[in-house]
């Protein structure tokens, strides 16, 4: 009976690690998206002086910068949770993230999702406002600003979805490990 008592927690621990094993590949894909976002956000797109376009572009830019920072924080917590460095070296001295740290980041990710949704709602207005412009110089500025959003927004949406999934899994793992 005593052997059975220790087998169940060991199985639960292994199941938690299996769930994280899937996330490791996702974290590698996330790293690639993070690098793209950082590269895109090195320079803020120039203002076009069309309020609808500027609002949309600024929303996407701000969300992309926040998503990159969140990804960096999420990855740090993830590697702490699995007890490895980013290079895959096992480190048993690493302090596991607390449930409070994870829930705090979860709230940040939720707020970020709201920001991304808000940016999407302003996209149509930005496109409509830009269609009436006849000045070729302004058209070029608008095109450059909207090109940034065309590149950044899909990455932003995909990264936000991964962040939401990853933090949920990490919270579940933390809750499960507290019960062992």
The pLDDT of residue 125? 92
User: Is residue 3 scored above 60 in pLDDT?
Assistant: no
The H or E element spanning position 45 is none
Distance CA 175, CA 173 (A): 5
User: Mean pLDDT over residues 21-43, rounded?
Assistant: 84
Question: When comparing pLDDT for 13 and 69, which is higher?
Answer: 69
């Amino acid at each position: 009976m005593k052997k059975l008592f220790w087998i169940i927690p060991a199985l639960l621990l292994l199941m938690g690690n299996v769930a994280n094993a899937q996330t490791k590949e996702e974290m590698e894909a996330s790293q690639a998206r993070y690098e793209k976002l950082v590269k895109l956000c090195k320079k803020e797109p120039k203002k076009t002086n069309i309020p609808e376009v500027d609002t949309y572009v600024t929303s996407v830019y701000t969300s992309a910068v926040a998503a990159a920072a969140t990804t960096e924080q999420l990855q740090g917590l993830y590697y702490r949770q699995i007890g490895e460095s980013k290079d895959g070296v096992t480190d048993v001295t690493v302090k596991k993230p607390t449930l409070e740290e994870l829930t705090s980041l979860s709230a940040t990710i939720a707020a970020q999702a709201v920001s991304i949704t808000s940016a999407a709602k302003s996209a149509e207005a930005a496109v409509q406002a830009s269609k009436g412009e006849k000045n070729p110089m302004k058209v070029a500025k608008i095109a450059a600003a909207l090109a940034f959003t065309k590149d950044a927004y899909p990455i932003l949406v995909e990264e936000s979805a991964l962040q939401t999934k990853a933090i949920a899994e990490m919270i579940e793992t933390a809750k499960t490990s507290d019960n062992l």
